[in-house]
Chains A and B, each alone.
Chain A
Amino acid sequence: MTSKKTGMDTDAARRRFLGGAAALTTLSLAPGVTLIASAEAKEAHDATSTKMRWGMLIDARKCDSECTLCVDACRDEMGWGTPADRKPRPKTDAQWIRKVHVTDPKTTHTFSLPVMCQHCESPTCVDVCPTGASFKRVDGVVLVDKHICIGCRYCMMACPYKARSFVHEDISNQKPHAPRGKGTVEACTLCVHRVDRGGIPACVERCATAGRKAMLFGDLNDPESEIAKAVAEFATKQIRADLGLNPGIRYQGI
């Protein structure tokens, strides 16, 4: 009898303990679960789709050689410029997008165009990256996972477009939507933080706002999109198309 009672007491104690533990666990996790639920405005997988291929069409004929609006917009949006508290170091300061001036020495014909990550279908940077930090999203945007980039710079050796920069020093005043890190590699993200919310890249927006409209952004796979219609109608070119990488950035007038 005594032993039976003791057994029941033990069971009750165990139940009480488990009940308490469950309640404590619930109390600990519930706020976190609630926070996560309210922070997720959109499911992560909703933002990207294999059906899409984000791309850009840049009309070099509308691109003034003196104009750097797209570069300024990118710098403002992503925060990669030289900080105000030090002198520029052009050899090591990052440039996610730059204006390139081209002259044909045989004819003296010149044109100017912005060059950034070309978001290739077969990106060499992704091929060579040892850790998989360089990766391509299903919608064609090529990014760097700053958490697993070891700073080997092999992607910079491999990129035909000189589109990537290495962060050579400490960084302050970072933008929350564009985290950067000393010792890692970075490049144009095609403003995925905007695009995933239905927006357009900052460079395209600034160019359009200024009335130049040299840059067109959209889904190359959507036959109804303005960019798909434009690339179907007009002759467009990719830089170093001979490499067969099929960049998502196309140009007119080059």
Chain B
Amino acid sequence: MKKQIAFSEIAGNSNGYWALLLFFGALIGAALGATWHMEHEGHWVTGMSNQIVWGVPHVFAVFLIVAASGALNVASISSVFEVQDYKALAPLSALLSLALLTGGLAVLVLDLGRPDRLIVAMTSYNFKSIFAWNIYLYTGFFGVVGIYTWVMMDPRFVHFKKVAGSFAMMWRLLLTTGTGSIFGFLVARQAYDAAIMAPMFIIMSFAYGLAIYLLVIMAVYNGANRPLGDYVVCRMRNLLKVFVGAVLYFTLVQHLTNLYATEHHGVELFILLEGGPYTVLFWVGHIFLGGLLPLAILFHPMARTRAWTAIAASLIVLGGLCQVYVIIIGGQAYPLVLFPGMEVQSSFYDGEIYRYLNSLPELVLGIGGFALVAAIIMVAIKVLPFLPESLEDRHVDPEHSAKKEAREAGEKAGASA
């Protein structure tokens, strides 16, 4: 029989805790300062232009929003698929997804030309716009996952857990479909206009979200001096292999599909071979550092340690940022095709590869999104019991732990004999 998992708040009164919170607070303050600068001066002080209209803030925002959906994986596996080992990990998963969405949306909203008109976005809708649908999907996500978190943490409602968890899982799949469709529905741009965007964003969310979850749980348990067993980490490692492999597969299909159509050869040549920084970010950042290398680490028998898992997860996050950068900025850098097959030139940079170099305030705003996520988690785990007091193997899965101990005892006995 399994032992009841005990959840509790962290003490959160050490100097280290306050120093870290202050550090993230400072980053958030810097991001707000950067926003004030960009909004006060106007967007000409950024690297964005009439050619590259979405820049680094959008890379961070989309990455965080996509990761938010994926961070809920662990909770979904626990509640929907009823995998007991994940039960203890589920509340943090829901918290992380809410925090990531908050961080992503904050960056997105603060980069609007008129962030002061947020209320207009909430009250004036064009229902043909996937952006407008996303506003519902994002705000609805807070409600749905909020209720799901409550149901998970309040023993009185525990029998609603599967229903709430299933609804939250469907909602987040819709949410990532909506985010991918922002690009999939752009018929005029060579790099987008593809139905594969929506499912690809879903699988990207699985990989990014789980990688961030792994990093967060390792950091939090290390910081809070609570025990974290290898079993939990290794179970998620296996899942991560599948997700990273699937991202690579979808990327392959996306580019092969484009390469089949002659009209897309130009943009494919640009991204895959001649795009300078975008080509480097694609092959080195996304494919190698964010895909092949973490896969090699995750599969390597000698790298089955927590440190290597953290390295692999960090690489997946880095590769994910590179992937979103190539999709968003690389996709815009390739010029619109006004006259297929013709060479065009104008004072408005028609026919030219658009250049983009992000400014410091843009980067600071994007990093502020990550800092907001971290600050929310730090505060939330201090005030609410999101974390199990122990994630030692024997608490998470006593049967596995017992088998392991018996195996080790057997090996020892064999060795001594």
Contact = CB atoms under 8 A, between A and B. Distances in A.
B347 A99 contact: yes
A165 B50 contact: yes
A45 interface: no
Contacts of B120: 131, 148, 150
A101 B346 contact: yes
A153 B61 CA distance: 15
B258 interface: no
B197 to A, nearest CB: 13
Interface string B46-68: 00011101100000000000000
Interface string A66-104: 000000000000000000000001111111001111111
A161 B295 CA distance: 42
By DSSP majority rule, is chain B's interface helix, strand, loop, or mixed? loop
Contact of A183 (B114, B341, B350): B114
Query: Among A92, A133, A159, which residue has the most Cβ atoms of chain B within 10 A?
Result: A92
A149 interface: yes
A167 interface: yes
A66 B178 CA distance: 45
Interface string B196-231: 000000000000000000000000000000000000
B129 A154 contact: yes
Interface stretch (A24-32, A121-129, A227-235): A121-129
A152 B112 contact: yes
Interface in B342-398: 342-350
A183 B112 contact: yes
A224 interface: no
Given A92-B49, A98-B348, A152-B112, A239 B43 contact: no
A160 B187 contact: yes
Contact of B129 (A92, A100, A128): A128
Interface stretch (B99-107, B130-138, B161-169): B130-138
B299 interface: no
Given A131-B125, A150-B112, A183 B39 contact: yes
B53 A166 contact: yes
A118 to B, nearest CB: 10
A89 B44 contact: yes
B42 A102 contact: no
Contacts of A133: 124
A115 interface: yes
Nearest to B332: A157
Contacts of B242: none
B159 interface: no
A143 interface: no
Given A91-B50, A239-B339, A132 B126 contact: yes
B187 A243 contact: yes
Nearest to B263: A242
A115 B344 CA distance: 12
A241 B337 CA distance: 12
A240 B113 contact: no
A162 B132 CA distance: 22
A144 B80 CA distance: 45
Given A104-B342, A239-B338, A150 B44 contact: no
Nearest to A159: B188
A68 to B, nearest CB: 9
B339 A157 contact: no
Contact of A150 (B117, B332, B341, B342): B117
Given A98-B348, A100-B344, A239-B339, A91 B51 contact: yes
24 contacts: A92-B43, A94-B50, A95-B347, A95-B348, A98-B346, A98-B347, A100-B350, A102-B342, A102-B344, A105-B341, A128-B186, A129-B129, A130-B125, A130-B131, A131-B121, A132-B126, A156-B50, A160-B336, A162-B350, A166-B53, A168-B42, A183-B43, A183-B112, A240-B188
Given A101-B345, A131-B121, A167-B42, 15 more contacts: A89-B44, A90-B347, A91-B349, A98-B347, A98-B350, A102-B343, A132-B125, A156-B53, A157-B189, A158-B188, A161-B338, A165-B50, A169-B42, A182-B113, A240-B337
Give the top 7 A-B pairs by smallest Cβ distance, nearest first: A151-B113, A183-B113, A160-B188, A169-B42, A130-B131, A91-B49, A168-B44
Interface of B: 39, 41-44, 49-51, 53-54, 112-115, 117-118, 120-121, 124-126, 128-132, 134-135, 182, 185-189, 332, 336-350
Interface of A: 89-95, 98-106, 115, 124, 126-133, 148-154, 156-162, 164-170, 181-185, 239-240, 242-243, 254
